[in-house]
Structure 1
Amino acid sequence: MKQNNINKWFVAVAATLTHLGLGTVYAWSFFQKPLTETFGWSNSQTAWTFSIAILMLGLTAAWAGTKIEKFGARKLALTGVLLYAAGYLISYFALQYHSLFLLYLGFGFIGGIGLGLAYVTPVAVVSRYFPEKQGVMTGLVVMGFGLGAFVMSKILAPFFMELFNGDLPKVFLSTGLILLLILPFFAYSLRTSETAEILKVDKPDILKEILKFDYALIWLIFMFNIVAGMIFIAFQSPLLQDLMMRGGTTDLETLAKSGATLIAVSAVFNGIGRFFWGSVSDKLGRIRTLQLILLIEILVFAILMFSKNVLIFSIGVCVVLLCYGGGFGILPSLIRERYGAKLMASVYGVTLTAWGIGGIFGPQIAAFMKDHFAADSALYSYSVALGLIATGLVLSLFLRKKTISE
């Protein structure tokens, strides 16, 4: 029994560290401005790299969630981390030859597919090992993904940027090699519980559930929350630097370091939010916790619309990403609670398509505003986010409480 508990926690740690490596994608904001300035691409063109990666993550996760029993969690996760690392390696050649298409292909499509394969498996595995602690344990795993941006923005990216004197191709190459060396070890440690029942899932069962009105509400609410959070994940550094320049700060190094610091600090909030709100939902209930998250976001975006203060902006970003992460912390336990262990991985995977769609709209909304309404880009972006979150809160009022006894 003691040995079994050790194995359970070892798998939980490996799952969390796998997500930590994958979550480095959330530091895209660190590279957004340097890429546009170095290669002359517009904000929208550059942001499509990140949007494609998140889109492919969502679509691939939907497929992977239905294939865990067939291929095994270890094989899917291992393939995923290798493809994600390959995305960075291909990006080296893309930047070396100034090829936006190759950047989309490498970081976006191939890296995004890797993210999708590797993201859903750690959550599903830990859910099997800890059926009695769904909110806490799945929240712990996805917390790793949220903290990945901290690792990238304050450790990997600054180190390589200084080492290679801002040579972006070499930064991407070195990052890819680090991921290639480390992530496979954690991914290989993932395996489903030997004592868990093999759960065969029929496609008609999945379709029957995801075509219901309640599921559509969950998908839309989750997607709206993604869009709002992605505005900051993709553009928090440029938005902060814009505010600081209006306040009189002109030193480029100071601006870049401030942006990186905000990415790192907000990443901690994003990560903690997944664990914190997942734990809260074990006590308050999934729907009530979700409504509280949306209400807090509405208040924050309303404040940000009327403030140009750097400190208030920074706090607002952290609070929004705390709540954004909370959506990911609640989702696995919400899905398992409503659809049961048998359908958990499949329905959860399908629901992550909302992440993919939100990953397109969030960054592209912010990019469009910056390209076409530079002076008021923040105000317009917050207005869109506020409207979507408010709509999500209204939709949540129609969600019925539902649990499945297992």
Structure 2
Amino acid sequence: MSWLDRERTIAPPEFNRWLIPPAALAVHLCIGQVYASSVYKTALVEYFDASLTQIGVIFSIAIVMLGLSAATMGTWVDTNGPRKAMFVAALFWSGGFLIGSLGIFSHQLWLVYLGYGFIGGIGLGVGYISPVSTLIKWFPDRPGLATGMAIMGFGGGALIASPISTVLLARYDPNSAAAGWVASGDAVGKLFLTLAVIYLAYMMFGAFTIKVPAAGWKPSGYDPAKAKAKTLVTNNHVSASNAIKTKQFWLVWIALFCNVTAGIGILEQAAPMIQDFFRHSDGTSLVTAIVASGFVGLLSIANMGGRFVWSATSDITGRKNIYMVYLGVGTVLYVLLALIGSSTTALYVILAFIIISFYGGGFSAAPAYLRDLFGTFQVGAIHGRLLTAWSAAGIAGPLIVNAFLDAQGTPGELTAQAYQPALLTMVGLLVVGFIANLLVRPVGPTFHEPDPPRSAAREIIREA
């Protein structure tokens, strides 16, 4: 398996660095399918005769494993290089679909938990962080733009997976023309098998086209001294083990957790929320189910676009400043959404669109923020540890919103007022995140590695 080693991926002289983002996108567009799992959620509920909560556990396991695997395998990813990491991610992600399909065909829900949730979730975590540190090394002059290009794919993966899955489910189910059609379990099983093959092929393309820069490489015209002059940006190095000992890491963790929790608060309830906000006194809603579905697609565009636009903007404003926008402006937007969001649908859509763009931007700016604070050495491993904030938010966000809504009334009969306690709770979280981000300062020399770090020195010798 030596052909997967990092040494085999070193780029030749004059290699075009713009060939790297497509390789990263190949992975992120595939694993972004996790946001399209609602396409077959109802089908699995009927097939397994289970509750929405029982089927929703599949998604929750996948997101938790994303954070845990990214945290525990981050150092391994940095040490072994992106090709081996992306190769492993492809095997786990596709393998998760294969085992999940076996669970569907055999009518064993626990196998779907194990396959798509647990094993596929490991592929999610490794695949998510595998291209990050490589992109940052190729684009030291524009790290926000670089990571935004890749992580944008994760937000946009659902835009591709959702219509493709819908078409395939209809093709695999002979009863798809029936009124009120819900896909059969057999159709979902065949969909899982098809996605396993497609994603394996496309992720392998990414794995075998990824390259790492040679030791000492830097883009033409790039002056590290100018980058160092920016606030918080360092040319020193901090290891992953030392990074988690710093207050800066935990302050960024809190800021990301608060931003993500608030975003999930809207995403998790997107379709019913817009219907409830514009529900008449007779119980009917101005917003139809079809329009609500279109709104969900619009939020996917906001999620994807925010990951690129705001992250690229952070190269100009600085990462700390862009997080102040996410959390500070986000606080104001949440207050407006809670108090006057139900006045017009246009206002509601605009507020939700911007909030979700901040949600996506928080993810894509995070790796560059870590690079600024801790340097490029083991930034992938540090990023992996930071993603535990996502796992925690994936549990906290839905719990907060659903707990408040359960206390307010019956689903399908709720109004805009029922959402106010949950939304104002998110306002409090965003204020906490804003204060945490405000307290971020440069990392002290106590945590810096020797220059260059010993492991980096061995890497340079090996590459030479």
Shorter-chain TM-score: which interval?
Answer: 0.7 to 0.9
What secondary structure sits across from 1:342 in the alignment?
A: coil
Q: Show structure 1 runs of 5+ residues with no match.
A: 198-203
Aligned residues of 1:26 and 1:233 also touching (Cα < 8 A): no
Q: Which residue of 2 aligns with 1:200?
A: none
Q: 1:191 to 1:371 in 2, by over 3 A?
A: farther
Is 1:350–2:385 an aligned residue pair? yes
**Which one has a larger percent helix, Structure 1 or Structure 2?**
1
Q: What is the RMSD computed on CA atoms of the aligned residues?
A: 3.1
Matched length: 396
Alignment-mate amino acid for residue 294 of structure 2: T
Cα distance in 2 for residues equivalent to 1:48 and 1:383: 27
Question: What are the residue-to-residue correspondences of 1:161-240 with 2, within 5 Å?
Answer: 161-163=169-171, 164=173, 165=176, 166-167=183-184, 168-195=188-215, 205-240=239-274
* Structure 1 residue 33: Cα displacement: 5.1
Is 1:386–2:422 an aligned residue pair? no
Cα distance in 1 for residues equivalent to 2:51 and 2:347: 28
Q: Which residue of 2 aligns with 1:94?
A: 103
Aligned residues of 1:54 and 1:356 also touching (Cα < 8 A): yes
Higher relative contact order (CA 8 A, sep 6+): 1
Is 1:273–2:306 an aligned residue pair? yes
Alignment-mate amino acid for residue 216 of structure 1: W
Is 1:156–2:164 an aligned residue pair? yes
* Structure 1 residue 329: Cα displacement: 2.0
Alignment-mate amino acid for residue 67 of structure 2: G
Question: What are the residue-to-residue correspondences of 1:2-401 with 2, within 5 Å?
Answer: 4=13, 6-32=15-41, 35-36=44-45, 39-153=48-162, 155-163=163-171, 164=173, 165=176, 166-167=183-184, 168-195=188-215, 205-240=239-274, 248=284, 255=289, 257-306=290-339, 307-308=341-342, 310-369=345-404, 373=408, 374=411, 375=414, 378-401=419-442
Cα distance in 2 for residues equivalent to 1:313 and 1:39: 36
Aligned residues of 1:77 and 1:119 also touching (Cα < 8 A): no
TM-score by length of 1: 0.86
Residues 385-404 of structure 1, C-alpha deviations (whole Å, 9 max, x = no match): 22211211122222225699
* Structure 1 residue 80: Cα displacement: 0.6
Alignment-mate amino acid for residue 398 of structure 1: L
* Structure 1 residue 3: Cα displacement: 7.5
* Structure 1 residue 217: Cα displacement: 0.9
Larger radius of gyration: 2
Aligned residues of 2:248 and 2:443 also touching (Cα < 8 A): no
Q: 1:196 to 1:321 in 2, by over 3 A?
A: farther
Q: 1:339 to 1:228 in 2, by over 3 A?
A: same
Residues 323-381 of structure 1, C-alpha deviations (whole Å, 9 max, x = no match): 01111121111111111111322212211111122222223444555666533664444
Alignment-mate amino acid for residue 92 of structure 1: S
Q: Which residue of 1 aligns with 2:456?
A: none
Residues 215-263 of structure 1, C-alpha deviations (whole Å, 9 max, x = no match): 2111111111121222333332343455577673699xx62x4444333
Q: 1:11 to 1:162 in 2, by over 3 A?
A: same
* Structure 1 residue 17: Cα displacement: 2.6
Aligned residues of 1:15 and 1:190 also touching (Cα < 8 A): yes
Cα distance in 2 for residues equivalent to 1:395 and 1:319: 22
Answer with 216-225 or 373-382: which moved more.
373-382
Aligned residues of 1:20 and 1:145 also touching (Cα < 8 A): yes
TM-score by length of 2: 0.76
Cα distance in 2 for residues equivalent to 1:370 and 1:36: 22
